A and B are shown apart, each in its own frame.
Chain A
Amino acid sequence: MMSALQVLAIGFGLAGYYALVAVGFALIFATLRIFHIAHGTVFLMAGYVFFFLYRVGGLDVVSSGVLSVIVAALTGLAIDKAVYLPVMRRGGGLFSVFIASLGVALIFEAVFLVFTKGIVTVARTTALGIVSVGPVAFRLLDIFILGVVIVVYGLLYLWLHCTRRGLEVRGLTDNRALAAVVGMNVDQTRNVIFLLASALAGIAGVLTAYDTGLAPDTGSRTLFIAVVAVILGGVQNILLGSIVGSVSLGILTAYAGFFFPEWVTFSVFAMMIILILIRPRGLFG
Chain B
Amino acid sequence: MLDVRELRSGYGNFEVLDGVGLRVEAGQIVALLGHNGAGKSTLLKAVFGLLPVRGGTVVFDGVDMTQARAFEKTARGMRFVPQEGNVFQNLSVEDNLRLGALKLPGDRAALTGRIEEIFATFAILRERRASRARVLSGGERQMLAISIALMTAPKLLLLDEPSAGLAPLAVARLFELIQQIRDRLGATVLLVEQNVNEALRVAEQAYVLEEGRMVFHGPSADKENIVRKLWRLAGKTSP
Chain A contacts to B: CB under 8 angstroms: 91, 164, 167-168, 170-171, 174-175, 177-186, 236
- Give CA–CA (A175, B85) in the complex, Å: 7
Q: Tell whether, in the assembled complex, residue B71 and residue A168 are in contact, meaning their CB atoms are under 8 Å apart.
A: no
Q: Are A182 and B12 in contact (CB under 8 A)?
A: no
Beyond A167-B99, A181-B80, is A174–B74 a contact (Cβ under 8 Å)? Answer: no
Provided the pairs A182-B148, A183-B71, A183-B103 are in contact, do residues A91 and B12 lie with their beta carbons within 8 angstroms? Answer: yes
* Distance of A27 Cα from B80 Cα, bound (Å): 27
Among A174, A185, A186, the residue within 8 A (CB) of B88 is A174
Quick check: B102 and A182 within 8 Å, CB to CB? yes
Name the one of B89, B90, B99 contacting A182, with C-beta atoms under 8 angstroms: B99
The reply to whether B95 and A182 form a contact with Cβ atoms under 8 Å apart is no
Would you call B70 and A181 a contact (CB within 8 A)?
yes
Smallest beta-carbon distance B107→chain A, Å? 11
Complex A-B, nearest 8 residue pairs according to Cβ-Cβ distance, in ascending order = A183-B74, A174-B88, A183-B103, A183-B71, A171-B99, A185-B71, A174-B90, A183-B102
Q: From residue B28, how far is it (CB to closest CB) to chain A in Å?
A: 23
Measured between beta carbons, the chain A residues less than 8 angstroms from B98 are 167
Q: A177-B82, A178-B85, A183-B102 are in contact. List 15 more A-B contacts (CB 8 A).
A: A167-B99, A170-B91, A171-B99, A175-B88, A178-B82, A178-B86, A180-B50, A180-B70, A180-B71, A181-B48, A182-B149, A183-B70, A183-B79, A186-B71, A236-B90
Most buried by A among B79, B86, B99, B103: B99
For residue A234, give the distance in angstroms from its CB to the closest CB of chain B.
Answer: 12
B63 within 8 A of partner (CB) = no
Q: Chain A contacts of B71 at CB under 8 A?
A: 180, 183-186
Please indicate the chain A residues that have their CB under 8 angstroms from the CB of B148 in the complex.
182
- Asked if B75 is an interface residue, CB under 8 A from chain A, the answer is yes
In the complex, chain A residues whose CB is within 8 Å of the CB of B87: 175, 178
B21 proximal to A (CB < 8 A): no
Q: For B71, B85, B89, B152, which residue has the most chain A Cβ atoms within 10 angstroms?
A: B71
B100 cross-chain contacts in A, Cβ below 8 A: 182
Interface centre among A168, A170, A174, A186 (most CB of B within 10 A): A174
Q: List 12 A-B contacts (CB under 8 A).
A: A91-B12, A167-B98, A167-B99, A168-B102, A171-B99, A175-B89, A177-B82, A178-B86, A180-B71, A183-B79, A183-B102, A183-B103
Asked whether, in the complex, the Cβ of A171 is within 8 Å of the Cβ of B88, the reply is yes
B102 touches A184 (CB 8 A): yes
> Considering only CB atoms, which chain A residue lies closest to B100 in the complex?
A182
Report how far A181 CA is from B81 CA in the complex, Å: 8
Kindly list chain A residues whose C-beta atoms are within 8 Å of the C-beta of B86: 178, 181
Q: Which residues of A contact B79 (CB under 8 A)?
A: 183
Residue in chain B with minimal CB distance to A185: B71
